[in-house]
Each structure stands twice: as structure tokens, then as C-alpha cells.
């Protein structure tokens, strides 16, 4: 691994530790060809780490790699302090950041799935054998009892999250006629900032990893009578624990149902291409690799004009996906994104010609409210309107007395 990349990975781990509330007092690195089965790092490095821990009076050691249960146990015995790996740290951050009941259930499920094979190390304070009057004989180890209890809790959480997934599916059916957009990207790329800039709504934004976990959905006015529904999803990260990817599947299904994914990229980050690859890998795990994607290069305000021009040229040369460049903090920083989304919505709403009774002001107002009116002409006792409308709106209008679809695209009225 190049030195610069190793330093960026170490910096990211320190930011994760800071997000979890820890104060970093030192870092230790070692390049290993293959993990040591006993300590992950070499024996000599493990003993040097023990001296570092003792000298800095650290009370916790965090590894950037996932440790096996045996490696974690051996390291804690050697170092005499709590040892966490990257997965456990991310799970801990998610636990403190989850706000809604759904997010809390998802995090608890991921934590229990991670904990189950590590009970022997994590729960050493529990008695291994229950004894006493009425419990003599072979008995049952406390460890086995705990495993059964966790197994039951995992099944219960999976069932409850399945109910949540069905509820979300019902909610999405109610938005079938709307153009749906999902924001995806590496954590701290600025997805929430983009949503707030688009919607002008009160969306929580913080310059920390995993600042938001709960999905936020907002109706966005794109101008010229064009609207879309935009959902901000949980951020991804390098080596995202597979337990989290699985347990957050219900939340990320918002992305599965979107017309387009906006892949938000921090254009100011030197290794943005690595972060882009991480996000694409997670999307592939979820079966979303074939969804329409727009690359949104955010934070271009941090680049010089020459750097932005070079970035645009590089992106055009390397990537076939549409790409827009944005700044969520500048007044006109998302105009390019708005224009792209407006064109995308229009492409999903073919023109229709509707004849409406002149006295039916309610229907005429609904057409203006829910679509984009291109022209209007009065004829005898009717009003002829050419507009771009969602399918469900046209279907609803067809049921109204005094309304006639004079001319429409083939999909109008289809189920």
C-alpha cells in the first residue's frame, strides 16, 4: 500500500475514533504480508505496542482491520486494555448516532451478529457454569444460554425489520407517480448538504463521519413546475461491516426504488477515486450496480479554477456516467444539478393534451400544481392544455367528468 494511502487510512481511523468520542494519543503501523493468527500483527510488533500503550497510558487500542475472536482475546491478554477492531468501532458509532426506532433496531441487529462469535472474549465476566440446588448435574454453560438468548433476539429483530420493510414498500407505492432520487456516497461527502441545498429544508449537517444515519426524504422544487422526491441514505465507508450492509437493507431499499442515484463525491479529497470504488462495491453487493447513476462532484468551492477544469476533463475522459459539479455552500452551486434533474424528470413525463371544461377550475389548478404546463388555449366551453404530467395524475384525471385526454403518449392509462 502506498505511503499516502496508508496515511489517509490512518487519518480516517482517527476521525472515526474522534466521532466515537475517543482522544487519539498515538498511532502504530506495520506492513504485513499475511495476518499473524495470534495477534494479527507480528509478535515483536505486538510487544512494542504493549510498551506504547503503557507509556501513553491508553485505555483502548483500535485496529483498522477486523480481528478474529482469538486475535482480539490474545491482544487483550497481552496489552491489558480493551481492544476494538474497525468493525466494532463503526458499530459503536452507529449505536450512538441512531435516532429512530428503525435505525436503533438495525444497529442492534448488526451488533448482535458481530457479538455472537465473540461471546467468550466479550462476556468473560459472566459465570461459565450455573450450579446450586436444583441445578446440579451436567447443567448448561452460561455461554450457551447467552448464545440462545442472542439468537432469539436476532430472529425477533429480523422479523420486526421485515415489517418495517413492508411498511416502507407501501409508502413507496404511494409515491409511484413522483420522480424519485436517492443520494448515495461515501460518508462525509456532503449528501445531507446537497439535500438541504436542493430542498431548502432543515436537514442536519455536521462535518463528522456518519453525522446522519436515518434517511431523510424531502420534496424538492426544481423550478419551472418540476418537482422530485429526494432521499438521503446512510453514508458508506471503506470496509463497511457486512452486518451493517445487511441490516440497513430496508433503509437502502429507497435507493433500489429510485429513478436515479446521485452518487455524491467529495471532489476536494485527494483519493476520491478510491472512495468512489468503495461506494460502487457496496451498491453492487445490494444489486444496484445497473441503476442509472449521476456522479455529483461536491465541494468544488474548495478547488481552484484550474483544479476544477482539470477534474472536469479527467471525469469526462474516464467515466461514461453523466457528471455534474456542485457546491452546497455557494448560492448558485447546485444550479447545474437542478438543471440535470429537471431534464431527467421531463424525460419521465411525456407530454399530454388534455381538454377540460372551462368551468372546472379545480382540475385546471391540479394540472398546474402537479405538472408542467407547456401551453393553454380556450376553445368554446373547454380549455385545451398541453402539459407534462406523472402517469398517476393522468390516470386520476381520466376518471373525472368533463375531462378528456385528447392526445397522449402510449403509456398514459397503462397499469
* Residue 114 predicted with pLDDT over 60: yes
Q: What is the pLDDT of residue 134?
A: 41
- In the predicted model, what is the mean pLDDT of residues 237-243? 79
* Residue 106 predicted with pLDDT over 70: yes
DSSP state of 220: E
Percent of all residues in the chain with a pLDDT value above 90, rounded to a whole number = 38
Where are the domains positioned within the chain?
Answer: 3-92, 98-169, 177-346, 350-407
397 or 340: whose pLDDT is higher? 340
pLDDT tens column, 269-323 = 999 999 999 999 988 888 888 889 999 999 999 999 999 999 999 999 999 999 9
**Residue among 94, 123, 90, 124 nearest 108 (CA):** 94
Q: What is the pLDDT of residue 137?
A: 43
Residue 405 Cα to chain centre, angstroms? 41
161 or 298: whose pLDDT is higher? 298
Distances (CA, A) of 307 to 190, 226, 313, 329: 19, 33, 10, 18
Q: What is the pLDDT of residue 136?
A: 39
Q: Does domain 350-407 have CATH number 3.30.70.240?
A: yes
Q: What is the pLDDT of residue 132?
A: 41
Helix axes 249-256, 101-115, angle to 10 degrees: 120
SS3 content of the chain, % helix, strand, coil (to 5): 45, 20, 35
Phi/psi at 141 (5° precision): -70, 150
Q: Does domain 3-92 have CATH number 3.40.50.11060?
A: yes
* Identical fold, 3-92 and 350-407: no
Distances (CA, A) of 34 to 31, 75, 413: 9, 17, 61
Report the CATH superfamily, name and number, of domain 177-346: P-loop containing nucleotide triphosphate hydrolases (3.40.50.300)
> Confidence band (pLDDT; 50, 70, 90) for 176?
low
Q: What is the pLDDT of residue 412?
A: 38
Q: What is the pLDDT of residue 288?
A: 83
> Confidence band (pLDDT; 50, 70, 90) for 186?
very high
Amino acid at each position: 500500500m502506498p505511503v499516502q494511502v496508508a496515511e489517509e487510512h490512518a487519518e480516517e481511523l482517527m476521525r472515526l475514533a474522534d466521532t466515537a468520542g475517543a482522544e487519539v494519543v498515538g498511532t502504530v503501523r506495520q506492513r504485513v504480508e499475511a495476518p499473524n493468527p495470534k495477534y494479527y500483527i507480528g509478535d515483536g510488533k505486538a510487544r512494542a505496542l504493549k510498551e506504547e500503550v503503557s507509556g501513553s497510558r491508553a485505555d483502548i487500542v483500535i485496529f483498522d482491520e477486523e480481528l478474529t475472536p482469538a486475535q482480539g482475546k490474545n491482544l487483550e491478554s497481552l496489552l491489558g486494555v480493551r481492544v476494538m477492531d474497525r468493525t466494532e468501532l463503526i458499530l459503536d458509532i452507529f449505536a450512538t448516532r441512531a435516532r429512530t426506532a428503525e435505525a436503533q433496531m438495525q444497529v442492534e441487529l448488526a451488533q448482535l451478529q458481530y457479538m455472537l462469535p465473540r461471546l467468550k472474549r466479550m462476556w468473560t465476566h459472566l459465570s461459565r457454569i450455573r450450579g446450586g440446588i436444583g441445578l446440579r448435574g451436567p447443567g448448561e454453560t452460561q455461554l450457551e444460554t447467552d448464545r440462545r438468548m442472542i439468537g432469539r433476539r436476532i430472529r425477533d429483530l429480523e422479523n420486526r425489520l421485515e415489517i418495517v420493510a413492508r411498511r416502507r414498500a407501501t409508502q413507496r407505492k404511494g409515491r409511484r407517480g413522483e420522480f424519485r432520487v436517492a443520494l448515495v456516497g461515501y460518508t462525509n461527502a456532503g449528501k445531507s448538504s446537497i439535500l438541504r441545498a436542493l430542498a431548502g429544508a432543515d436537514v442536519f449537517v455536521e462535518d463528522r463521519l456518519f453525522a446522519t444515519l436515518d434517511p431523510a426524504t424531502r420534496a424538492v422544487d426544481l423550478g419551472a413546475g418540476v418537482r422530485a422526491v429526494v432521499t438521503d441514505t446512510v453514508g458508506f465507508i471503506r470496509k463497511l461491516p457486512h452486518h451493517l450492509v445487511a441490516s440497513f437493507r430496508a433503509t437502502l431499499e429507497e435507493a433500489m426504488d429510485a429513478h436515479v442515484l446521485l452518487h455524491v463525491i467529495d471532489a476536494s479529497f485527494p483519493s476520491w477515486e478510491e472512495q468512489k470504488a468503495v461506494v460502487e462495491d457496496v451498491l453492487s453487493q445490494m444489486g444496484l450496480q445497473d441503476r442509472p447513476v449521476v456522479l455529483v462532484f461536491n465541494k468544488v468551492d474548495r478547488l481552484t479554477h484550474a483544479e476544477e477544469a482539470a477534474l472536469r476533463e479527467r471525469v469526462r475522459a474516464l467515466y461514461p456516467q453523466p457528471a455534474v459539479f456542485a457546491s452546497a455552500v455557494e448560492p448558485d452551486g447546485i444550479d447545474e444539478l437542478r438543471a440535470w434533474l429537471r431534464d431527467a424528470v421531463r424525460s419521465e413525463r411525456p407530454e399530454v393534451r388534455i381538454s377540460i371544461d372551462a368551468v372546472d377550475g379545480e382540475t385546471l389548478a391540479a394540472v398546474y400544481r402537479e405538472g408542467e404546463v407547456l401551453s393553454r388555449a380556450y376553445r368554446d366551453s373547454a380549455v385545451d392544455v398541453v402539459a407534462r404530467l406523472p402517469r398517476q395524475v393522468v390516470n386520476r384525471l381520466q376518471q373525472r367528468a368533463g375531462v378528456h385526454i385528447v392526445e397522449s403518449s402510449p403509456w398514459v392509462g397503462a397499469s
